[in-house]
Structure 1
Amino acid sequence: MAGIYIHIPFCRKACHYCNFHFSTLLQNKNAVVQALLKEIEWQKEQLPGQSIHTVYFGGGTPSLLEARELDSILNTLHRHYAIAPDTEFTLEANPDDIDAEHLHNWSVMGINRLSLGVQSFRDQDLQWMNRAHNAGQALRSVELALSSGFSNLTIDLIYGTPGLSDEAWEANVNRAFELGVPHLSCYALTVEPRTALEQMIRKEQMADTDPEQQARQFLQLMDWTAAAGYEHYEISNFARPGWRSRHNSSYWQGIPYLGFGPGAHSFDGKRRRWNVANNALYVRSIEQGTIPFEEEELTPVNRFNEYVMTALRTLEGIDLEKLSRDFGEEALAHTLHEIKKHEDKGLIVSTERSIRLTREGKLYADGIAADLFRE
């Protein structure tokens, strides 16, 4: 089985913190979609004999697609790939795009999971982030999506922003609980290079993030979601039983996927490839009959390090049998040796079958993974 990721590189507005590839020049959208359709067709031999179990429209803002554009993409996928009957079709959407007509069209086309970029239910947070929607739209988008039959719904929330008190953070999370949202993706604000946020902080026009605040609010989040019955199944993801993201779970399990569109990534188990993150160059190359991408062959060490990094972030942790089977006894011995100092600090718990992060260990996930890497 395999997955498909489709990158829609357009947004109405540039959020201060975002470093994903996108453009606010919407007049180029049709040209990108036409090029995307060709790429989807040309890549059909990349997953021979494999059925597609997840399709994910990310961005950017996929909800900016017109109904005919989204329909043409979905029809092209069905024509050229073996789409399983129970495939999870996820569409990322902004609250300001949510209305009855859009929801009806998406449902009819086969979209069965929505990811709403809520980020916060507070106007002051949304204005600080430079989001295109307001708090009222955030609330109404969730209510309308759920009442329209999109029970498989996730929302994004951001914590650790300057000025976000613990009480305000709790109110945001509680609002999601009250609405009955079955899945949450929650991220600490990250100051990425070359973003508007990074520039404003550097010029002292905006306060920097506070690591202590972010750690505290992450610990609070873990306590609140556990009490509300959510599984903390990946560092940033929380789901009521049965509502995990199948697409993202496939990433963490190393399942192959194809990425289409400018800036999209693909993985076949041994190689990674990524399309050029430039809309004009992407369109021009496709028009000339070439898919503009780069790729790298992953060495056994690369694959080991990627497995450790992703698996350690999940609820199940590192599977020691899989690690031994896929990477050898030497890799297993290395891992068991390197975890000792983290076990002694109470950051890792290990059994005969797995290595998992403790509650406190999740605060240091990236650093612990780096300690386990091989060179």
Structure 2
Amino acid sequence: MAGLYIHIPFCKKKCAYCDFFSVANLNYTDEFLKAIVSELVLQKSYLENESINTIYFGGGTPSVLKPNELHSILNTIYSVFKIDLKTEITLEANPDDLSKSYLNELQNIGINRLSIGVQSFNDSDLQLMKRRHTSEQARQVIHNAREAGFKNISVDLIYGLPNMLLSDWEKNIDILLNMDIQHISAYHLTIEPNTVFKKLYDNNKIPLPTDDESIEQFKLLIEKTKQYQFIHYEISNFAKDGYLSLHNSNYWKKVKYLGAGPSAHSYNLTSRQWNISSLKKYLSEISKGNIPFEIEKLSTTDKYNDYIVTSLRTMWGINLKTIEKEFGKLYFDFILREKNLFVKNNLLVKNNDTLILSEEGKFLSDQIIRALLYI
């Protein structure tokens, strides 16, 4: 099995925190649609005829495309690749794009999973983040999506926002948990370079929570979602039983994936590559029959480090036998030695040949992962 990611680079406007590649200009939509179809055809052999079980439209804002435009991309995918009958097909969407008619059309073209970028149910937060929707719109859209027949709905939230109190975050979680959704992705705010938030932060105009406050917000998230029978299957992801994101799980389980569109990444077990982060250059090169990308051949150290970074963030953890078999004695001896301090301090739990983060370890996951990388 393999995955397919389609990067839709368009946004109506840039959010204050976002550093993903996007352009706030829809004038190139027609040209882009031709290019993405061409790239998919050019890349038809990349996955070596493996069956695709997950298709993910990310961005940018994929929901700025019309349903017939998304359908044209899907038609190409089905004609070029071998698609599993039960393929998970996800569309990232902004709440204000999801009218009732749009939701119904998405159902008709085969989109079976929505990832809705709510981020907050507090209008002040939404305005600060330069989001296009209101809290009431977000609530209504989730309701409308269920009414339209979507049975697999994921919602994104952000915590650690400027001036966010624990009580503010609790209100966000409580609202969401009472809306009958299947999946939650909750991310701590990161101040990224070249964003509005970075400028505000550098000029001391947005006060951020302390580390202790951020940890309390994360702990509350874990406690609340557990009460509602959500499975905490990756540091930032929570799902009801049977609704783990197949697309994300493929990333974490070292499954091949192809990325199409500007800035999209691909991985085939032996190398990773990424398309150029420029829409104009992407369109120009594709029109000439070229895919503008850079490639990195993966050394054994790269593969080991990738395995640590992706696997330790999940509930499945890292398997010591896998490390010994796939990467060799050097890395096996290294992990056996370096794990001891974290096991002793109850930050890692050893269960037979598996190492997973303890509840306390989850709060220090970045530090633990860094310590286990082979540099």
Query: TM-score, with normalisation over the residues of structure 1?
Result: 0.98
| Preserved contact between residue 52 and residue 82 of structure 2 (Cα < 8 Å) | yes
User: How far apart, in 2, do the equivalents of 1:166 and 1:179 lie?
Assistant: 21
Q: For structure 1, which segment, 75-84 or 168-177, has the greater mean C-alpha deviation from structure 2 after superposition? A: 168-177
1:217-366 counterparts in 2 under 5 A? 217-366=217-366
Amino acid corresponding to residue 260 of structure 1 in structure 2: A
CA–CA distance in 2 between the matches of 1:134 and 1:231? Answer: 28
Per-residue CA deviation, residues 126-178 of structure 1 (Å, 9 max, x unaligned), is: 01111011111111111111121111010000111122111111111111111
The offset of 1:365, in angstroms, is 1.0
Distance in 2 between the 1:29 and 1:321 partners? 48
The one-letter code matched in structure 2 to 1:36 is I
Give the match's secondary structure for 1:46. Answer: coil
Query: Counterparts of 2:332 and 2:205 in 1: how far apart (Å)?
Result: 49
Offset at residue 333 of structure 1 (A) = 2.0
Name the counterpart of 1:158: 158
**Cα distance between partner residues in 2 of 1:206 and 1:26:** 31
Q: CA deviation at 1:45?
A: 1.0
- Aligned partners of 1:182 and 1:243 also within 8 Å: yes
Please name the residue that 1:182 is paired with: 182
> 2:7 is matched with which residue?
7
Which letter maps to 1:346?
N
SS at match of 2:352: coil
> Does 234-243 or 348-357 show the bigger shift?
348-357
Give how far 1:303 is off: 0.4
Classify the secondary structure of the residue corresponding to 2:28: helix
Residue 311 of structure 2 aligns with an amino acid whose one-letter code is A
Aligned to 1:105: 105
State how far apart, in whole Å, the 2-side matches of 1:206 and 1:305 are.
Answer: 35
* Counterpart Cα distance in 1 of 2:239 and 2:212: 26
**Residues in 2 aligned to 1:213 and 1:281: alpha-carbon distance in whole angstroms:** 43
1:212 corresponds to which residue? 212
> Per the alignment, in what secondary structure is the counterpart of residue 232 of structure 2?
strand
Out of 182-191 and 164-173, give the one that drifted further.
Answer: 164-173
Which SS does the other structure have where 2:27 is aligned?
helix
Using the TM superposition, give the Cα deviation of residue 88 of structure 1 relative to its aligned residue in structure 2, in angstroms: 0.4
| Aligned: 1:60 with 2:60 | yes
Partner of 1:88: 88
Give the partner amino acid of 1:103: L
Whole-angstrom distance in 1 between the partners of 2:8 and 2:149: 24
Structure 2 letter corresponding to 1:244: L
Indicate the SS of the match to 2:54: strand
- Secondary structure in 2 aligned to 1:23? coil
Q: Quote the residue 2:44 is aligned against.
A: 44
1:360 partner SS: helix
- Say which is worse superposed, 242-251 or 314-323, in terms of deviation: 314-323
Q: Distance in 1 between matches of 2:116 and 2:39?
A: 27
Give me the whole-angstrom Cα distance separating, in 2, the residues matched to 1:354 and 1:67: 44
CA distance in 1, matches of 2:220, 2:74: 40
Q: Per-residue deviation at 1:285?
A: 0.8
CA distance in 1, matches of 2:282, 2:49: 28
Q: 2: distance between equivalents of 1:186 and 1:219?
A: 12
Looking at structure 1, the residues matched to 27 and 49 of structure 2 have their Cα atoms a distance apart, in angstroms, of 38
Percentage of matched positions with identical amino acids: 41
1:28 corresponds to which residue?
28
Residues 320, 352 of structure 1: 8 Å contact kept: no
Q: 1:14 touches 1:130 (CA, 8 Å); kept in 2?
A: yes
1:20 match: secondary structure: coil
Extract unaligned runs of 5+ from structure 1.
Answer: none
> Secondary structure in 2 aligned to 1:27?
coil
Give the deviation of 1:211 after TM superposition: 2.0
Distance 1:275 1:345 in 2: 42
Letter of the aligned partner of 1:224 in structure 2?
K
Runs of 4+ in structure 1 displaced over 4 angstroms?
none
> What CA distance in whole angstroms lies between the structure 1 residues aligned with 2:148 and 2:173?
22
Match of 1:148 in 2: 148
**DSSP 3-state at the match of 2:291:** coil
Cα distance in 1 between the residues matched to 2:289 and 2:228? 52
Per mean C-alpha deviation after superposition, the further-off stretch among 16-25 and 312-321 is 312-321
Q: Deviations over 1:221-257 (max 9, x none)?
A: 1111112111100000001111100010000001000
Q: Is 1:201 matched with 2:201?
A: yes
1:326-374: CA deviations, max 9, x gaps? 1123322211210111122221111222001111111111211111111
The aligned residue for residue 131 of structure 1 is: 131
Distance 1:92 1:19 in 2: 16
1:169 paired residue number: 169
1:26-49: CA deviations, max 9, x gaps? 111221121111001110011123
1:275-296 per-position Cα deviation (integer Å, ceiling 9, x unaligned):
0010011001111221110000
